[in-house]
C-alpha cells in the first residue's frame, strides 16, 4: 500500500469536510439568511406603486441587502492661479466675487468656488460639421490631461450629442472596481474639436470609514424615489454606490446610496442606511 498517497488523500478529505462545516457555520447564514433578502411580495408591492404612478422600470430589482460602510475622502489641492492660467492659456485678470473667484483672458473665463468646484468657459465658435464620439473623447482627454491633469481614477462615462453638433462628455470616478458618485467632470466639445466648457469637481478617496451596516432594501429606495419621479419616467438602473454633496472643507464623508438611474439621464440618490433622499443630478442637463 502506498502510505504517502493514502495520507495525502486523508488530509484532503479532512480539509474538505472542514470547509463544508465552515460554509454551513459562517457563509450560509450570511448569504442565505432570509433576513438579508427582500421577499417576492415586497418586490411586487414596489412594482405596483411604480405602476400606479405611471413609472416604468426596465432593470431587475436587487433582492439581496448588503453590508456597506461610509467612504472617507479629501479634496485635492488646487493652485488657483496656476490652474486658471493653464486653462485660459495666459495670465488673465482676477476678480473676487461674493461666492467665487473669476479669472478672464481673451474672452475665456474660469470660475473657482470655495468648495472646490471649477467651471471653465470658452467663447462659442461658429463651427459646423459632424464630430465622431471617439474624436470628441480624444479632444476632451487631451484638454483634461494637458490643462488640469486627468485624475488617475477617472474613466469615461456617458456621452450625449447635442442638437448643435457639440458633444457633452462625462468622466466618472472608478475606485476598487466600483463606480462612485463622489466626483464628476463634464466637458463640452464643439463640432470642430474645441473644448467650449468644463465642469470639474474631484475628490480623492481615502478608504472605508465606520461600521459596516446592512443596507435598506432596494424596494425601499424605489419607494422613496417614486415620490419625486415625474410620471412616465423609465428607471433603467438600480445599484449601490457612494455619494456626497460638495461643501467647503478638506475632509468629506460619502454615504452609501442606492442610485436610481432614469432613461432621461437623471440619477436619484437614496441613502442606503437612513432611506433619505440625498440629492439628484441630471446629464447633460447640468452642462455648463
Report pLDDT for 154: 96
Nearest one of 124, 183, 167, 158 to 237, comparing CA atoms:
158
Nearest one of 219, 234, 210 to 37, comparing CA atoms:
219
Report pLDDT for 163: 87
Backbone angles phi, psi at 44, to 5 degrees: -65, -40
- Note whether 276 and 228 are within 8 A (CB): no
Decide if pLDDT at 34 tops 70.
no
Task: Determine the Cα–Cα distance for residues 210 and 123; give it in Å rounded to an integer.
Answer: 46
Decide if pLDDT at 1 tops 70.
no
The continuous run of DSSP H or E covering 226 comes out as helix 218-226
CA-atom Rg of the chain in angstroms: 25
- Judged by average pLDDT, the poorest of 39-43, 122-126, 153-157, 203-207 is 122-126
Mean per-residue pLDDT for 31-46? Answer: 80
Higher pLDDT, 251 or 269: 269
Percent of the chain that is helix, strand, coil (3-state, to 5): 25, 40, 35
Report pLDDT for 179: 94
Report pLDDT for 11: 57
The continuous run of DSSP H or E covering 12 comes out as helix 3-22
Band (266; pLDDT cuts 50, 70, 90): very high
Mean per-residue pLDDT for 28-41? Answer: 67
Report pLDDT for 27: 45
Report pLDDT for 14: 53
Mean per-residue pLDDT for 132-158? Answer: 95
CA distances from 51 to 47, 156, 223, 229, 231 (A): 6, 34, 12, 12, 10
Decide if pLDDT at 9 tops 80.
no
Task: Determine the Cα–Cα distance for residues 233 and 212; give it in Å rounded to an integer.
Answer: 33
Percent of the chain topping pLDDT 90? 74
Question: Each residue of 54-96: pLDDT tens digit?
Answer: 999 999 999 999 999 999 999 988 889 999 999 999 998 999 9
Report pLDDT for 221: 96
Decide if pLDDT at 145 tops 80.
yes
The reply to whether CATH 3.30.310.160 applies to domain 77-201 is yes
User: Burial level of 269, CB count in 10 A (0-12/13-18/19+)?
Assistant: buried
Spans of all domains in the chain: 40-72+206-282, 77-201
Task: Determine the Cα–Cα distance for residues 241 and 174; give it in Å rounded to an integer.
Answer: 11
Report pLDDT for 130: 85
What's domain 40-72+206-282's superfamily in CATH? Answer: YycH protein, domain 3-like (2.40.128.690)
Decide if pLDDT at 17 tops 60.
no
Band (21; pLDDT cuts 50, 70, 90): very low
Question: Each residue of 220-237: pLDDT tens digit?
Answer: 999 999 999 999 999 999
Query: All 3 cell numbers of residue 216?
Result: 435598506
The continuous run of DSSP H or E covering 259 comes out as strand 251-262
141 Cβ contact list (under 8 Å, min separation 6): 150
Same fold, 40-72+206-282 and 77-201: no
pTM exceeds cut of 0.85: no
Task: Reduce the DSSP state of residue 24 to 3 states and report it.
Answer: helix
Report pLDDT for 22: 45
Higher pLDDT, 8 or 31: 8
Task: Reduce the DSSP state of residue 221 to 3 states and report it.
Answer: helix
Nearest one of 76, 69, 118, 99 to 250, comparing CA atoms:
76
Query: All 3 cell numbers of residue 10?
Result: 486523508
Query: All 3 cell numbers of residue 40?
Result: 417576492
Query: All 3 cell numbers of residue 33?
Result: 439568511
The string of DSSP codes covering 111-135 is EE-TTS-EEEE-------S---HHH
Percent of the chain topping pLDDT 70? 86
Task: Determine the Cα–Cα distance for residues 276 and 164; give it in Å rounded to an integer.
Answer: 38
Query: All 3 cell numbers of residue 7?
Result: 495520507
CA torsion through residues 41, 47, 51, 53, sign = positive
Amino acid at each position: 500500500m502506498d502510505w504517502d498517497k493514502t495520507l495525502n488523500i486523508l488530509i484532503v478529505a479532512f480539509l474538505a469536510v472542514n470547509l463544508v462545516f465552515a460554509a454551513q457555520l459562517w457563509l450560509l447564514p450570511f448569504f442565505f439568511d432570509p433576513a438579508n433578502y427582500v421577499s417576492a411580495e415586497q418586490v411586487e408591492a414596489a412594482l405596483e406603486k411604480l405602476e400606479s404612478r405611471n413609472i416604468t422600470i426596465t432593470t431587475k430589482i436587487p433582492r439581496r441587502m448588503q453590508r456597506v460602510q461610509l467612504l472617507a475622502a479629501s479634496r485635492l489641492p488646487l493652485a488657483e492661479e496656476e490652474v486658471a492660467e493653464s486653462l485660459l492659456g495666459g495670465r488673465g485678470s482676477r476678480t473676487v466675487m461674493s461666492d467665487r473667484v473669476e479669472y478672464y483672458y481673451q474672452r475665456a473665463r474660469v470660475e473657482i468656488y470655495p468648495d472646490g468646484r471649477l467651471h471653465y468657459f470658452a467663447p462659442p465658435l461658429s463651427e459646423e460639421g459632424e464630430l465622431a464620439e471617439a474624436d470628441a473623447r480624444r479632444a476632451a482627454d487631451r484638454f483634461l490631461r494637458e490643462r488640469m491633469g486627468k485624475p488617475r481614477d477617472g474613466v469615461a462615462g456617458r456621452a450625449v450629442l447635442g442638437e448643435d453638433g457639440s458633444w457633452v462628455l462625462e468622466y466618472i470616478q472608478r475606485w476598487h472596481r466600483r463606480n462612485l458618485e463622489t466626483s464628476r467632470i463634464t466637458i463640452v466639445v464643439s463640432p470642430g474639436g474645441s473644448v467650449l466648457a468644463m465642469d470639474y469637481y474631484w475628490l480623492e478617496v481615502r478608504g472605508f470609514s465606520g461600521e459596516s451596516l446592512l443596507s435598506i432594501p432596494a424596494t425601499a429606495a424605489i419607494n422613496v424615489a417614486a415620490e419625486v419621479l415625474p410620471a412616465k419616467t423609465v428607471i433603467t438602473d438600480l445599484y449601490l454606490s457612494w455619494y456626497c454633496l460638495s461643501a467647503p472643507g478638506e475632509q468629506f464623508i460619502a454615504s452609501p446610496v442606492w442610485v436610481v438611474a432614469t432613461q432621461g439621464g437623471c440619477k436619484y440618490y437614496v441613502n442606503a442606511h437612513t432611506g433619505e433622499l440625498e440629492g439628484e443630478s441630471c446629464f447633460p442637463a447640468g452642462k455648463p
